[in-house]
A and B are shown apart, each in its own frame.
Chain A
Amino acid sequence: MAMISPSRSAEPLEIGADPSVRRRQRVGLLGQAGLFLSLVIALIALIVLLLDVGSRIGGMVVYGFRIDPLTVVPSISLEELSQEELLQLAKDNIPPERLAELPEELGANLEDLSVDDLLNVIYAEVPNVDVLTARPLEALSDQELIEILSQNLTAQRYEALNAAQPFEARSREDLIELIEQEVLLESVIKTWPLFPSLFNRAAIEEEIRANYPGAEYGFRWWLTPEFIVGDLTTRPETSGLRPAIIGSVLMIVITILFAVPVGIATGVYLEEFAGKSRFSALVQTNIYNLSGVPSIIYGMLGVAIFVRALSDFTSGAAFGVPDPPPNGRTIISGALTMGLLILPLVIINTQEAIRAVPQGLRDGSLALGATKWQTVWHHILPVAFPSILTGIILGISRALGETAPLIVVGAAAFVTTDPSGLFSTFTVLPMQIYTWAKLPADTFRNISAAAIVVLLVVVLSFNLTAIILRNRLRKSL
């Protein structure tokens, strides 16, 4: 680094006399700007990610029917029409040139045909007889509406709806709404992102009126209370998250019950009991290596050990659980796998926490005649606990967001019932996000984004708690 070159002149050096100094300072400023920029880019990436998710939790939508109304609404029966009406119908709907050819082909004028022959001609010649004779839902009587429901719904669903409120007691609008939702499977056929929908609604409405004449449209939030507590279904318009949320909570509770005691015990052993033995060095190296093993490998361990080898226990068959699942793809297998995954995290944090406890505390306790365990239990763990808790919280948030091992262990992609215990098949929040994000339809991405918001709120608040807790502790030490 030739920073100053005094040999250039014999005069005493003035600060800034070397022309390279100015240049080097400029480079320094540019470099600083560049470094700052890369930090900004990282933060912008975070913001774009959040906006990308946020833009899908609500927006303008156009509704359409999955099932053609013509196939369920009883049409006018042609047989009930009189000869004049049929004649009129034929004349109105058969193209004129065809109408001119017909008498020759039939060997008689339309007017002279019998009702039966006329019907045959109409069925043969009029395109879309269905459309012609269809009636809008609004034109039907209440009785006919109820009839449609009873014919098209499963008996179970029909009874459930009837039990909620008897069909006879429901209003017309309510019945029509029910048919649209349950029978015609009213669904979203096009969606718009949140921000244009909020700020440029008029333009979108115009576009909808141009491209989808007569269709129902409106603003729709995908992240709603009903979404969070609702059942999982195969339709994005009606699906909820409840089984996945319950699955996540149950799994995390078991994970904590397993990983926290084992993790703290290992940390305590390594720091307080093991000394510098060969065994403790082995355990220590092993823990560092485990913390670098990809999570999907833990999944493979889980599927081979918990799901297959121990299937009698993890399916609950060994405990006499009635009607056990055929293999161990259950909550307990997922939770144990997750427990092993976060174990290194808990252990390493426990060790650091214990190492930070002042030596005087141990000496004092031991000098008063306490045993090693009494010292640990009454003096070291209480002091180290807040710091250990930070590690536990980070572990929980890791386990909540981890998906890959559960795919392998076999969280089911589609579960309609809430998990009922340790031995039920299950799904979890991130698994549901993955399943929905894989599907190409926009509406599935909408509910995937809504589920992401739920997951992020939980995970990030856990992480934030841990970070704040840790910073407080650092200050107080």
Chain B
Amino acid sequence: MATFSASLSQSRARGSLKKKQRPGESLIRASLVASALVSILTTIGIVVVLFVEAFNFFAAPEVSLLEFFTDTVWAPEAGRVGILPLVTATLITSVIAIVIALPLGLSAAIFLSEYASPRARAYLKPILELLAGIPTVVYGFFAVTFMTPLLKSIFGQDTVEFYNMASAGLVMGIMIIPIVASMSEDALSAVPRALREGSYGLGATKLETSFKVVLPAAVSGIAASVIVGISRAFGETMIVALAAGAGPNFTFNPFQAAETMTGHIARISSGDLSFDSLDYTSIFSIGIVLFFMTLTLNIISRWIVQRYREVY
């Protein structure tokens, strides 16, 4: 207190109440801004790197942009660079994953938010979160050592190939369940209690209330969770690298092997990939397609949340 009044009288003596210049404070502020710039630079770095290397790829004489989006064979060393087989494999594994994850994840979320007692919820939610924390390479191991043999024994040794999209997709679905469940649960819990009470008051059962009142009210959050789930499935690498296939294959049969975009990038980059090769630049052309696919989904999911959010 004494020092405070002393400094006050000092500045009065100087006749100025102007804000004191503090070089230390400015320095700290500058370093904080610099830190914030790191994340901006990361984005710029990603975009620049992808564009530059992809440009180098398309500048190669054997590559044409039209062929890139229409040809159904991906074999850069043979001069065929159609990304379609990689894209279809990504789409097929992701569709299988979301067909598994959406009903299971959403049901789990409804149960947790509407039915479970607070006590049960206190134990069940952390378990779901723990499931979400398992590294994806472990899910990949699970796909090869458990899901593939299981599918083979159900559908026949000859129908199901050793690498197949179904196994990778199913396990990816299991991996995405916690993501869908956790985000949907947040959305359902945010629906105000009055809506439920009103529904009960009109004589609806708990199930009717959950599906016809709470679910529609939380639909934007749930849609967002599904889109984030799909985006995760597009970008997931380890499961498909281990279980889906070891070569591009243009097929719609989920029991056949086919490499996804991420799986192909992972296989081509393992080992000492030469920086001068067409293989090296080719992974960036795949990367840029993948980047914009996931970015679009993420932007849509955030837009849905902001646009359709019911504010209570």
**Which residues of A are interface residues toward B (Cβ below 8 A)?**
1, 3-4, 24-25, 27-28, 31-32, 34-39, 41-43, 45-46, 48-49, 52-53, 56, 261-263, 265-266, 268-270, 273-274, 279-280, 282-283, 286-290, 292-301, 303-305, 308, 327, 329, 340, 343-344, 347, 369, 371-373, 394, 397, 400-404, 407-408, 410, 413, 430, 433-434, 437-438, 445, 448-449, 452, 455-456, 459-460, 463-464, 467, 471
Docked CA distance A427–B139 (Å): 20
A-B contacts, 6 listed (Cβ < 8 Å): A45-B174, A304-B52, A304-B284, A373-B24, A404-B262, A467-B126
Docked CA distance A36–B284 (Å): 44
Docked CA distance A344–B46 (Å): 15
B190 within 8 A of A: no
Known: A49-B142, A371-B22, A404-B237. A32 touches B107 (CB 8 A): no
Contact A289 B298 (CB under 8 A): yes
B95 within 8 A of A: no
Docked CA distance A459–B122 (Å): 21
Task: Tally chain B residues at the interface, Cβ within 8 Å.
Answer: 95
Known: A402-B135, A438-B242. A294 touches B237 (CB 8 A): yes
Residue of A nearest to B177 (CB): A42
Docked CA distance A76–B4 (Å): 102
B160 within 8 A of A: no
Known: A36-B111, A403-B137, A463-B133. A269 touches B238 (CB 8 A): no
Give the contacting residue for B275; candidates A293, A294, A308, A344; CB below 8 A: A308
Contact A343 B38 (CB under 8 A): yes
Contact A36 B49 (CB under 8 A): no
Contact A39 B133 (CB under 8 A): no
Contact A56 B145 (CB under 8 A): yes
Give the contacting residue for A286; candidates B29, B43, B129; CB below 8 A: B43
Given contacts A53-B138, A293-B294, 16 further A-B contacts (CB under 8 A): A31-B207, A32-B115, A46-B130, A49-B138, A49-B139, A52-B142, A270-B36, A283-B36, A292-B297, A295-B237, A329-B272, A373-B24, A394-B133, A401-B134, A401-B135, A456-B135
Which chain A residues border B112 with CB–CB below 8 Å?
A: 39
B191 within 8 A of A: no
Docked CA distance A294–B131 (Å): 19
The 3 tightest CB contacts between A and B, nearest first, are A294-B235, A401-B135, A265-B35
Known: A39-B124, A430-B135, A463-B129. A266 touches B25 (CB 8 A): no
Which chain B residues border A303 with CB–CB below 8 Å?
A: 269
B140 within 8 A of A: yes
Contact B272 A410 (CB under 8 A): yes
Contact A39 B294 (CB under 8 A): no
Which chain B residues border A274 with CB–CB below 8 Å?
A: 36
B141 within 8 A of A: yes
Q: Which of B99-154 contact A (CB under 8 A)?
A: 103-105, 107-108, 110-112, 115, 122, 124, 126-131, 133-142, 144-146
Contact A292 B262 (CB under 8 A): no
Q: In the assembled complex, how far is the CB of residue A395 from the closest CB belonging to chain B, in whole angstroms?
A: 12
Which chain A residues border B266 with CB–CB below 8 Å?
A: 296, 404, 407-408
Docked CA distance A265–B37 (Å): 11
**Which residues of B are interface residues toward A (Cβ below 8 A)?**
4, 22, 24-25, 28-29, 31-33, 35-36, 38-40, 42-43, 45-46, 49-50, 52-53, 103-105, 107-108, 110-112, 115, 122, 124, 126-131, 133-142, 144-146, 174, 177-178, 181, 202-208, 210-212, 228, 231, 234-238, 241-242, 262, 265-266, 269-273, 275, 283-284, 287, 290-291, 294-295, 297-299, 302
Contact B290 A297 (CB under 8 A): yes
Docked CA distance A48–B171 (Å): 12
Docked CA distance A270–B275 (Å): 38
Which chain A residues border B211 with CB–CB below 8 Å?
A: 31
Contact A343 B39 (CB under 8 A): yes
Known: A1-B212, A433-B137, A463-B129. A38 touches B39 (CB 8 A): no
Q: In the assembled complex, how far is the CB of residue A225 from the closest CB belonging to chain B, in whole angstroms?
A: 22
Contact B235 A297 (CB under 8 A): yes
Q: In the assembled complex, how far is the CB of residue B45 from the closest CB belonging to chain A, in whole angstroms?
A: 5
Give the contacting residue for A289; candidates B33, B36, B295; CB below 8 A: B295
Which chain B residues border A299 with CB–CB below 8 Å?
A: 269
Residue of B nearest to A453 (CB): B138
Contact A301 B283 (CB under 8 A): no
Contact B111 A397 (CB under 8 A): no
Docked CA distance A27–B209 (Å): 13
Which chain A residues border B273 with CB–CB below 8 Å?
A: 410
Known: A286-B39, A296-B265, A456-B134. A38 touches B145 (CB 8 A): no
Give the contacting residue for A434; candidates B108, B131, B242; CB below 8 A: B242
Docked CA distance A448–B138 (Å): 9
Contact B49 A296 (CB under 8 A): no
Docked CA distance A67–B49 (Å): 50
Contact A467 B130 (CB under 8 A): yes
Contact A344 B294 (CB under 8 A): no
Q: In the assembled complex, how far is the CB of residue A299 from the closest CB belonging to chain B, in whole angstroms?
A: 7
Docked CA distance A193–B242 (Å): 21
Docked CA distance A403–B265 (Å): 13
Give the contacting residue for A42; candidates B40, B131, B139, B144; CB below 8 A: B131
Docked CA distance A167–B171 (Å): 52
Contact B146 A48 (CB under 8 A): yes
